[in-house]
Structure formats: C-alpha cells, structure tokens
Structure 1
Amino acid sequence: MSVVVKRRGPALVMMIDRPAQRNAVNRTVSMAMAAALDELDADPALRVGIVTGAGGNFCSGMDLKAFVDGERPELEGRGFAGVTERGPAKPLIAAVEGYALAGGCELALACDLIVASETAVFGLPEAARGLVAGSGGLVRLRERIPPAIALEYALTAKRMDAATAQRWGLVNRLVPAGQALDAALTLAEEISANAPLSVAASKAIMAAAPDWPVAERWERQRPMVEAVLASDDAQEGARAFAEKRAPIWSGR
C-alpha cells in the first residue's frame, strides 16, 4: 500500500508508506493521495488533513527511477502528489520528520501549516539535478519566507535545517524527533474545536486575499463573511458564549 490512510478523531492522516524509497512519490502515490483528499473534503466528520511519511522521513520528492522509466507523478488538474495544484478546502497540515526535499518540500509547502521535528530537513535541490521545482516550490517558498532567502536556497540547492526553517517562519511548530505526527494531531484538535464554516472561510480568504486589488478587498470578502454570519453556527457560537458552555457545531 503506497499511502496508509487512517482516521484519528476529526483528522484524516495520510502517510506515504514507501520507507525504502524515502517515501518518493510515484503516480500510484499521487492517485492514492488524491483519493484521500477527496475523502477529507467529502466527509463532514473530518475537519483537518495531515500528511506525513513512514520510516522517519517525510518525502524525498519524485521517484527518479520511475521518472527515468517515463512515468510522471503529476495528476492533471491536481499536480504532484495529487495536491500541489489543487488542495482541499479543509486545512492541511504537514507532519515532517527527516527529509522533505525537492517534491517533498513542495508537498510540505502545499500544506497550510507545517509541524516539524528537530530532524527535519527542507530543500529544493532540483537545480543540482538538472531539474526545476515546478510543483509549487519556487512559487510558494518565496511566499512563506523572505523572497531573497528563498531565491538563495533555490539557486544554491542547499538544505535548510528545521531550526532555520522555524526562524524564517516556514515551520509553525518545532518538536523533538519522533513527535511531529502527535504534535500535528494536537494542532488538528485545536482547529477542529472551532466552527467548520468559519475555518473554511478563514482559509479561503487568507489564500485569496494576496491576489485581490487593495480597493476591492472588502467587496471580495464580504459575501464569504456574510455567509458565515448568516449560519446556524454563528448563532450557536453566540449562544454558547452567553451560556458559558462549549459550542456544538453543525456545519450549517
């Protein structure tokens, strides 16, 4: 099985299970990931997705042996690992141990949040292999850390250790080795405690806002905000606050 999918409370954990290949992605992995992400968005009981890897590494990128044999891991309309071009509507967390290199780094960057262990290593080494980080690495890294720093890493093909990644703001939470998945599950629980419509709207607005003209920001976000304010959950949240109890979200 190329990807092991398990439900952990409100989270759907998707573990790339090719440890002998350091979880390199082939087309089979991409198809399995795409199916799991469809499951995540389709099931209202699932609130957050977590992507991780087996055997102490996150993902070493594209399966180069499969590439030499003529196989491409990108899926039409979805990209590398079934996610880099079109992610889920629900929040996606990368739980990174060990290598997150090349396509593996791009996979982590395609996630909304990154939890990493102290052993994590990030990098875009494509230039050293005669390739280019065309699955979102060059686009997203400069959005997550200062552009000049991102450019240096892309041009030199150097690796970035976990502490440096956290210092630049790439990593949300840094934890001891072996604890990335547990920490990601804790973060997923924190997110899942909140109203699903509010979480979805917040992710959508923050993802789209950089492309909005400044003069149109309020107009662009207004219908998304109004839809949440008109929801049953908005009423439930207000009632729960007044009654000093935990809200019971319906997702409506």
Structure 2
Amino acid sequence: MTALTHPAHSLLDRFDGFRVEVDAARERADIVLARPPLNVISMPAREQLRLVFESLDADPAVRVIVLRAEGEHFSSGGDIKGFLEASPEHVSRLAWNIAAPARCGKPVIAAARGYCFGVGFEISLACDFRIATDTTQYALPEQKLGQIPGSGGSARLQKMVGITRTKDIVMRSRRIPGRQAHDWGVATECVADAELEAATDRLVDELRAFSPLAQRTAKKLLNDTEDATLSVAIELEGHCYSRLRSSNDFREGVEAFHGKRRPNFNGT
C-alpha cells in the first residue's frame, strides 16, 4: 500500500508565533497568539491556525475554544512583507484559512485587549463571541497600504453593522474602541481590562453547560441562514428543531427540567 503524505503534517510540527493549550478538565482549548509585543500573524501561521481549529473541532475532549493573546495587544495584524512574497495562489486562500473559527462546530471566543487590527480583527469577526476591554481598538487599516481587507473583514463587518459604518471603518481606516464596538453589536461584551480573563472564564463555563449537539446545530443554522430569506430560514430552523427533538440531549433536558435538576448532556 502506498504511504500518503500531506503538507499539513509538517505544518503542525511547530507553530509560528502562537501556542495551543488544552485543559481537558475544563473541556477548553486556548489558542494563544505569542509573538509580543504586537503578535503579528505570519503567512504560515494563517494556515496553521486553520489546521489547529480543524484539529480541535475533532477533539472530543474540547467543548469550547478561546482565541487570545499574550501581552497588551491582541494583534497589530499580518506580516506586511509576507503579502509581497506570497504567491497569488497562496493569497487566494487567506479568507478560507481565517474563516476556520466560523466553520468550526464548537463555540469560539475571541478575547482581545489593545490593538486588534487587520487579520487580527478579521479572525475575531469569524469567531462566535468577541470580548473586548476598555483598551481594545478594532481596525481594518489596509487602505493605508493601498489595499483592502482580504480575509473576509469588510464582508463580515458589513453584515454586522451595515454599509455606512463599514465604509467609515474600511475606507477611512478608522479605529473603533471596545465600548463603541459593543454598542454597535461587534463585540459581545466589553469589560474593564483587568476583567478580560475572568469574563472569558465565565463565558466558557456558561457555554459548557449546554448541549454540545444543540450548540453545533444552532451555530450551523445561524451561519447557514445569515443570507437566507425569512421563509427559508424558518423552514431550516424547523428541520433542525425536528432533528433535535429525537436526540438524547433533548430528552435529558426535558427530564432534568421536570426533575428540577441540572441536565447532564452528552452530545447525542
């Protein structure tokens, strides 16, 4: 039998500018950007991050994934020089790699303080929850380089805040403070800077208490119906509801409710 090889095998040998921490007891995995002081995200790291999200998605020990960073800043963005050196084929995969958190079936939290620029903002936008602090500044500054966001940033942002605010952010390279991002619906929560870790811990524990099957279903349904008409979205919601109706987790949830106890979901 012919032995198969794949570039992914070597890509996961050594992470470029980040690390992965798995806490099996808390069913949590942290992807930690670790290239201080600005945590620049290199070209190789983009593909590695995709592979890590895919690997953690397949890991039964992990329920929730957290994307965070060392130091005062989440990320100042990508490696500018890398854009000029990358081939057109490589650049064409940027948005697919950065969309990995959205494709992941598990809840993904982006916890950011300080700069969250460029690809750092784009990968945060692909996450399900964004926790900001008083120091957080979100920006898509590519116009200053004679370029536009290339990893889904302007598209995702427009869905969240509309075309007028997105043009203001993208075309003027404006920085949006954490509090304003929360007011606009970009950030799920905005806390004092010293509270970022505690707020992240609380959200992780809250999400872990729900049925993993119901959460996977809800995430996929919401992602898939974002561009759907109301009638199509309601139809798909009904199909998903019907499928969950026969799940063990739903039966456990109903029995726990009537028994006035906490449910013990197993994801089936």
Structure-2-length-normalised TM-score:
0.85
Structure 2: 5+ residue stretches without partners: 1-14
- Alpha-carbon distance, 1:233 to partner: 0.7
> Separation in 1 of the partners of 2:156 and 2:68?
19
> Separation in 2 of the partners of 1:34 and 1:162?
26
- Alpha-carbon distance, 1:171 to partner: 1.1
- In the TM superposition, what whole-angstrom CA distance separates every residue of 1:21-44 from its partner, at most 9, and x where no partner exists? x11111332233223212321122
Question: Is 1:191 aligned with 2:214?
Answer: no
Match of 2:6 in 1: none
Q: Is the 8 A contact 2:29 2:64 kept in 1?
A: yes
Query: Structure 1 169/135 Cα, relative in aligned 2: closer, same or farther at 3 Å?
Result: same
Match of 2:75 in 1: 59
Aligned residues: percent identity? Answer: 27
Q: Is the 8 A contact 1:144 1:170 kept in 2?
A: yes
Q: Equivalent residues in 2 for 1:62-101 (5 A)?
A: 62-70=78-86, 76=93, 79-81=96-98, 83=100, 87-101=103-117
- What SS class does the counterpart of residue 97 from structure 1 fall into? coil
Match of 2:220 in 1: 204
Q: Equivalent residues in 2 for 1:32-47 (5 A)?
A: 32-47=48-63
Q: Equivalent residues in 2 for 1:96-135 (5 A)?
A: 96-135=112-151
Question: Is 1:13 aligned with 2:30?
Answer: yes
> Separation in 2 of the partners of 1:121 and 1:137?
15
Q: Is the 8 A contact 2:54 2:100 kept in 1?
A: no
Give 4+ residue runs of structure 1 displaced > 3 Å after superposition: 68-78
- In the TM superposition, what whole-angstrom CA distance separates every residue of 1:60-106 from its partner, at most 9, and x where no partner exists? 1111133344478758486344737x631111111001111111111
Question: Is 1:213 aligned with 2:229?
Answer: yes
Counterpart AA for 2:70: A
Query: Structure 1 130/165 Cα, relative in aligned 2: closer, same or farther at 3 Å?
Result: same
Aligned Cα RMSD in Å?
A: 2.1
Q: Which moved more, 1:204-213 or 1:158-167?
A: 204-213
Q: Which moved more, 1:98-107 or 1:200-209?
A: 200-209
Match of 2:5 in 1: none
Q: Is the 8 A contact 1:23 1:58 kept in 2?
A: yes
Query: Structure 1 88/175 Cα, relative in aligned 2: closer, same or farther at 3 Å?
Result: same
Q: Which moved more, 1:179-188 or 1:115-124?
A: 179-188
Structure 1: 5+ residue stretches without partners: none
Match of 1:152 in 2: 168
Match of 2:10 in 1: none
Query: Structure 1 77/89 Cα, relative in aligned 2: closer, same or farther at 3 Å?
Result: farther
Q: Is the 8 A contact 2:69 2:112 kept in 1?
A: yes
Q: Is the 8 A contact 1:27 1:71 kept in 2?
A: no
Q: Is the 8 A contact 1:30 1:82 kept in 2?
A: no
Structure-1-length-normalised TM-score:
0.91
> Separation in 1 of the partners of 2:182 and 2:99?
26
- Alpha-carbon distance, 1:14 to partner: 0.3
